Amino acid sequence: MARKPAAVPDASPDLTKARRRSNRLRLRAAWMYYVEQMTQSAIAEALGIGRVAVVRLLADARMLHEVKVTLRREVADLPRLEIALERALGLQEAVVAPLSGPDADPTAPIAAATGQYISGMVHDGMKIGIGWGRTLLQAIEFIDERPAANVSVVSLLGGITKAKQLNPAECAWQFARLFQAECFLLPAPGLVDSVETKRALIERCGIGDVFAIARSLDAVIISVGEMAPTGTAYRFGYFSEADRLSLIAAGAVGDMLYNFFDITGALVDHPINSRVMAVPMESIKAAPRRILTSGGKRKVEAIHGALRLLKPTVFITDEVTAAAILKQEPGKI
């Protein structure tokens, strides 16, 4: 009886290990080494890893046939945009998601990139502030669920009474559930009727305790809203068309957590900004890791203002928006 041929493994053990390592990190290292001709020591310092890790990443790139005379598009274009953003904006890290075409909706790709980034970011003992919006809600689907000890999650904005999935409390609670974390919510509407009501809620209804916790956040994750009528901020009845037009007249180009800002990143002089039930921007900007995740052609101006206001350490966007941001004159970024 003839012997059956031995089964051929799908891949060598070395190749399997190579695929498990971070694709993005490997591609960035390849770009820096083969295109920018940086030394391995300089790459290690830029990426925050050891020189031995750089050697392994470069070896993996060769083993996976990603390094040729020219780099394949997916190896070259996205790292090029990421590195250019990091240099132009002074970021610790940029993450650029690919799109199927220039007119594709970038929400899902950015959400996927955001979820993957968060999966690798969260560690025991962190205090994390969570914003809200379509991008962040979809990002939850891409986060690896796992327990993390002593993690606290803080919702950065009060509730939206007419919302369903897009309620800020839902974003924070779902995020906390993934890591079996403690969750702190703001038990108030996202916008109140007066400064006096806001002060009373903070001083007498326990919201001040949440604000106190938010002063020591390790990381914040926030998206950006634009001033179009279809923007998230206008879809739940808190803001009228007259409000929107008066905010634009005051110079607003977008909002973060209902804080409306102009193209320079300054909060506009408008009564609405004094009535927002959100963690103060001072606390948000004090977090060591500030992650801004947003994209889309209609949001480019709003993102410019948000970059100047938040001064994020990490910016997650799509390749079309990244290119639009980089078209700005250096002095305007």
Domain count, the chain: 2
First to last CA, the chain: 74
Q: 6 in a domain, yes or no?
A: no
- CATH number at 43 reads 1.10.10.60
Residue 38 CB burial class (10 angstroms; 0-12, 13-18, ≥19): middle
Residues 51 and 192 in one domain: no
Is residue 204 included in any domain, yes or no?
yes
Q: Looking at the DSSP assignment, which residues form a beta bridge with residue 157?
A: 278
In a domain, 152, yes or no: yes
- 198-213 pLDDT tens trace: 999 888 887 888 999 9
Domain annotation covers residue 87: no
Average pLDDT of span 157-185: 81
CB 302 within 8 A of CB 250: no
Confidence band of 188 (pLDDT split at 50, 70, 90): confident
The residues that bridge with 155 in the sheet, in sequence order, are 130
pLDDT at 165 > cutoff 70: no
Residues 303 and 208 in one domain: yes
Split at pLDDT 50, 70, 90, the class of 291 is very high
* Residue 84: inside a domain: no
Question: pLDDT tens across 43-60, in order?
Answer: 999 898 999 899 889 988
Say what percent of the chain tops pLDDT 90: 56
Q: Are residue 35 and residue 166 in the same domain, yes or no? A: no
Flag whether 3 is in a domain: no
175 occurs within a structural domain? yes
Asked whether residue 88 is assigned to any structural domain, the reply reads no
Q: Which CATH number does the domain housing residue 245 bear?
A: 3.40.50.1360
* pLDDT tens track for 58-115: 988 888 878 764 445 455 678 889 999 999 999 999 999 988 788 889 999 999 999 9
**Where is pLDDT greater, at 134 or 162?**
134
* Polymer length in residues for the chain: 333
One domain for residues 239 and 271: yes
Q: Which domain holds residue 22?
A: 13-71
Tell whether 49 and 173 lie within a shared domain: no
User: 272 with 147, same domain?
Assistant: yes
Regarding whether 120 and 21 lie in a shared domain, the answer is no
What's the pTM value of the predicted model, to 2 decimals? 0.78
Give the other-Cβ count within 10 Å of 58's Cβ.
19
Residues 148 and 247 reside in one and the same domain: yes
Nearest partner of 290 among 253, 325, 256, judged by Cα: 256
Same domain, yes or no: 62 and 112:
no
Taking CB atoms within 8 Å and a gap of at least 24, the contacts of 40-47 are: none
- Looking at the structure, do residues 292 and 147 belong to the same domain, yes or no? yes
